[in-house]
Amino acid sequence: MKYQPRHDVAGSRVEDGPLVRLDGVTKSYGSGETEVDALRGIDLSVVAGQFIVVLGPSGSGKTTLMNLVGGIESPTAGAITVAGHDLASADDTALTEYRRTQLGFVFQFFNLIPTLTALENVALVAELVGAPEERARAALDAVGLGERADHFPSALSGGEQQRVAIARALVKDPPLLLADEPTGSLDLDTGRQVLAALHRACRDGGRTVLLVTHNSAIAAMADRVLRLGSGSLVDDEVVAHPVPPEEVHW
Ligand code: ADP
Ligand code: MG
């Protein structure tokens, strides 16, 4: 499965500009004495096709950033544009459509439906987005699990379950994959297999991957590494020679 660049109504390629753009984005929770500033003025521009790792300690705002780019929450101030979608001013219907068509989500916990096989878990999402059913099998093949298609989640390792979750994200054929601590509950070996599957989605599938983690070892495979500290971007580094996921070590 290879992601084909989409064209906007004017016919110009959305990919010609940044895929993701944040301008002065802040996010606060609560009010008064209990107000927490989870993000404090983020400016960020991400071009399509890169594997981007966002590092930061617990509480630095990583999940908040993912939820904003993912259209799950709205910013307190600032502008967010993803693939031509203006998220800050979008209503619920527009955000739902945006999440459905533009995004694949991968979380720390795999959230597979235990009573459905691997293939059925992926096919369910294919059906929800109106994708052809064959795409579910192709997505499982793409993460190296074609032979496990008829297994239930309980018969799969944690790494295999996470790869089913990646297949479920890929079946929508989204330009952007958001991964929040995708290896957070995996050991090194299975974690690498998950990183390899995400890496292939980027390199072979032409997708943009935004991965947030507190595990700084994963930065070695990135094209670009961003660091968050207390809700601010404190570093932005281009990696000249990213290592293959098989060589990531922690
Ligand atoms: P990370 O993913 O880097 O651990 P988060 O984005 O989850 O960080 O959280 C950033 C800050 O925002 C933390 O101080 C956290 O307690 C706070 N926060 C996150 N979500 C909420 C929420 N729904 N309500 C109140 N505070 C929140
Ligand atoms: Mg988090």
**pLDDT at 13 (0 to 100):** 47
How confident is the prediction for the chain on average, in pLDDT? 93
- DSSP string of the chain, one letter each residue: --PPPPB-TTS-BGGGS-SEEEEEEEEEES-GGG-EEEEEEEEEEE-TT-EEEEE--TTSSHHHHHHHHTTSS--SEEEEEETTEE-TT--HHHHHHHHHHHEEEE-SS----TTS-HHHHHHHHHHHTT--THHHHHHHHHTT-GGGTT--GGGS-HHHHHHHHHHHHHTT--SEEEEESTTTTS-HHHHHHHHHHHHHHHHTT--EEEEEES-GGGGGG-SEEEEEETTEEEEEEE-SSPPPGGG---
Q: What are phi and psi of 114, to 5 degrees?
A: -65, -25
Q: Rounded to whole angstroms, how far apart are CA atoms 182 and 211?
A: 8
**Max Cα–Cα distance, the chain, nearest Å:** 55
- Quickly count: other Cβ atoms within 10 Å of residue 71's Cβ: 22
**pLDDT at 133 (0 to 100):** 85
* Beta strand pairing call for 208-213 and 176-180: parallel
Best probe residue, ligand 1, of 53, 63, 68, 213 (max atoms within 8 Å of C-beta): 63
Q: Rounded to whole angstroms, how far apart are CA atoms 98 and 83?
A: 9
- Quickly count: other Cβ atoms within 10 Å of residue 203's Cβ: 13
Q: Rounded to whole angstroms, how far apart are CA atoms 123 and 149?
A: 11
pLDDT in tens, 38-47: 999 999 999 9
Residue whose CA is at the smallest distance from ligand 1 atom 14: 59
- Quickly count: other Cβ atoms within 10 Å of residue 214's Cβ: 14
Q: Rounded to whole angstroms, how far apart are CA atoms 237 and 227?
A: 9
**pLDDT at 95 (0 to 100):** 95
How large is the average pLDDT for residues 223-240? 97
Residue whose CA is at the smallest distance from ligand 1 atom 7: 63
pLDDT at 240 over 70: yes
pLDDT at 60 over 50: yes
Does ligand 1 come within 6 angstroms of the Cβ of 36? yes
Does ligand 1 come within 6 angstroms of the Cβ of 208? no
Does ligand 1 come within 6 angstroms of the Cβ of 58? yes
Does ligand 1 come within 6 angstroms of the Cβ of 4? no
Ligand 1 atom nearest 27 alpha carbon: 12
Compute, in angstroms, the gap from residue 38 CA to the centroid of ligand 1.
Answer: 6
pLDDT in tens, 69-109: 999 999 999 999 999 999 999 999 999 999 999 999 999 99
Single pTM value for the model = 0.92
DSSP lists the bridge partners of residue 211 as: 53, 179
**pLDDT at 17 (0 to 100):** 81
pLDDT in tens, 148-205: 999 999 999 999 999 999 999 999 999 999 999 999 999 999 999 999 999 999 998 8
Does ligand 1 come within 6 angstroms of the Cβ of 66? no
Does ligand 1 come within 6 angstroms of the Cβ of 184? no
Q: Is residue 123 a contact partner of residue 157, using CB atoms and an 8 Å limit?
A: no
Q: Rounded to whole angstroms, how far apart are CA atoms 151 and 146?
A: 10
Q: Is residue 248 a contact partner of residue 192, using CB atoms and an 8 Å limit?
A: yes
Q: Is residue 4 a contact partner of residue 14, using CB atoms and an 8 Å limit?
A: no
pLDDT in tens, 117-158: 999 999 999 999 998 889 999 999 999 999 999 999 999 999
The model's confidence at residue 20, banded by pLDDT at 50, 70 and 90, is: very high
Compute, in angstroms, the gap from residue 146 CA to the centroid of ligand 1.
Answer: 37
Compute, in angstroms, the gap from residue 173 CA to the centroid of ligand 1.
Answer: 30
